[in-house]
Chain A
Amino acid sequence: MEIKKTCLHDRHLALGALMTPFGGFDMPIQYKGIIDEHQAVRTDVGVFDVSHMGEVRITGADAMRYVNHIFTNDIATMADGGIQYGMMLYPDGGTVDDLLVYRNAADDYFLVINAANIDKDVAWINRQSNGFNVNIDHQSDRYGQIALQGPNAEATLRDVLGIDAADLAFYTFTTLDRDGDNIIVSRTGYTGEDGFEIYGSHATIQNMWDKLIEAGVQPCGLGCRDTLRFEVGLPLYGDELSEKISPIMAGLGFFVKLDKEEFIGKEACAEQKANGVTRKLVGLELEGRAIPRHGYPVLAGDEVVGEVTTGYHGISVDKSIAMALVDTRYAALDTPLSVQIRKKTFPAVVVKKKFYKKSYKK
């Protein structure tokens, strides 16, 4: 499969970014360095190219009923301009993808899906729509997207891009006209900091990116996007969620509204909630500086009882920490476990998954 490029690809090369394939796209991992970029977002502001994300618009008379059929959260509770996070599930509770749903109107929704899952999701969304009066429009190629994240994101958005979003509440969006282009600005992100995500035409996004870089905003790669989201306990599809990992196992039951009339995967999630799950996502804190990576075995004594889903030497939390999927018997806080890292094992203890406190502006 040919690797895809975002509309900002030439900017990344010009900035000397270290590039790597991610979700079918050639994406920047880092520019200046993961640690510096991570700190920029925690303490100031940084801009990410997230144009690889996919977009699907669902409109029509049955749009609300249909989105609620494939989505775990309850969009009937949302007003125009509202956004919800949730998942699309298989009937057995395994996760198709996690996504955001934006409500333009009661019969008009905008779904933002993970790059690596675009083909699978679009096929899934189309396949479930029999019997619903909806129009499904796959719009990924139409949009570029940047994420402006950090405590100074609001001021930067105003001063550099001329967009006053002071009154935009967390998990809401607004649409604006920008030189004839209809753009979406939402107060969302994937870093645990205040910030915005902006969707627009390729030309608009290129223009905004250039202005932000010229103004000295730190460009940030996928490297720090992962360290930032991980420290605040946000899941990444493929690590903490997968076709084998349900949101209940991942501790994301809050986004699964079992009191909703129906949705795909509801029975499986209700069963898991009632009877408990066999594996559960936990946080681990390790002794020493060695780094637990995705797939490393988690042990209780000599027995393998789980595996690491994401791990780092935390940047804002100066410790070796991980999220791991473990046998539920070993998931209680303070349970002593160990992680095998190459030939050695390192003592670990179960802790809360939120290693660092989020600083959302709500």
Chain B
Amino acid sequence: MSKIIEGLYYSESHEYVKVEGDFGYIGITDYAQHELGNVVYVDMPEVDDEVEQGEEFGAVESVKAASDLNSPVSGTVVEVNEALEDEPGLVNKDAFANWIIKVRLSDKSELDNLMDAAAYKAFIKE
């Protein structure tokens, strides 16, 4: 049973965004990390890069395959989680604690396009 956290916003490509003020922490869901298996590399953008809702901003690589990361929101990257450079497996240990990028949101109304915890829970059961 995959862990889902209340209060976060979820995309159909299994990223989440946790909103704090004008900022959003973006990562992949527990369901996604489980489906991927051992994460061995996270390809992250650089600080000040622009990301767009629904657009690819990096990749998560398991032993077997690379999966694109799509940004659930638009904005500017203000921080990348450097801990993942040395220890990408942290994503498997706790996908929600180990966010991948922090962005300054450019349009909070975009959050309406995302799922809440209940909707995401139903989505992954399909």
Q: Which of A33, A291, A313 contacts B37 (CB 8 A)?
A: A33
Residues of chain B with a CB closer than 8 A to A320's CB:
41
A18: Cβ under 8 A from any B Cβ: yes
Partner among A29, A35, A342 whose Cβ is within 8 Å of the Cβ of B59: A342
Is A90's beta carbon under 8 Å from chain B?
no
Judged by a CB distance under 8 angstroms, whether B40 is at the interface is: yes
Contact with A along B48-81 (1 / 0, CB 8 A): 0000000000010111111000000000000000
Per the 8 Å Cβ criterion, residues 26-44 of B in contact with A are 37-38, 40-41, 43
Q: Are A227 and B63 in contact (CB under 8 A)?
A: yes
Q: How many residues belonging to A are interface residues under a CB distance threshold of 8 Å? A: 20
In the assembled complex, B88 has its CB within 8 A of some CB on chain A? yes
Q: Contact at A293–B66, with CB atoms within 8 Å?
A: yes
Shortest Cβ gap from B126 to chain A (Å): 18
**Distance in angstroms between the alpha carbons of A248 and B42 in the assembled complex:** 37
Contacts of A253 in B (CB 8 A): none
With A289-B88, A291-B66 as known contacts, state yes or no: A30 contacts B37, CB within 8 Å.
Answer: yes
Determine if A347 is an interface residue (Cβ-Cβ < 8 Å): no
Question: In the complex the two chains form, is B66's CB within 8 Å of A289's CB?
Answer: no
Decide: A223 and B41 in contact? CB cutoff 8 A.
Answer: no
* From A289, A290, A313, A342, contact of B63 by CB (8 A): A313
Distance between Cα atoms of A75 and B41 in the complex (Å): 45
Q: Which residues of A contact B61 (CB under 8 A)?
A: 290-291, 313
Give the Cβ gap from A245 to chain B, nearest Cβ, in Å: 22
Please tell me if the beta carbons of A291 and B38 are within 8 angstroms of each other in the complex.
no
Contact A289 B40 (CB under 8 A): yes
B63, A315: Cβ atoms closer than 8 Å: yes
Q: Look across to chain B and name the residue whose beta carbon is closest to the beta carbon of A341.
A: B43
> Can you list 20 residue pairs at the A/B interface with Cβ under 8 Å?
A30-B37, A34-B37, A34-B62, A34-B64, A35-B63, A223-B64, A289-B40, A289-B85, A290-B41, A290-B43, A290-B61, A291-B41, A291-B61, A313-B40, A313-B41, A313-B61, A341-B43, A342-B43, A342-B59, A344-B43
- B binding-site residues for A, Cβ under 8 Å: 37-38, 40-41, 43, 59, 61-66, 85, 88
Which 8 A-B pairs have CB atoms at the shortest separation, nearest pair first? Answer: A34-B63, A313-B40, A289-B41, A35-B38, A291-B61, A223-B64, A33-B38, A291-B41
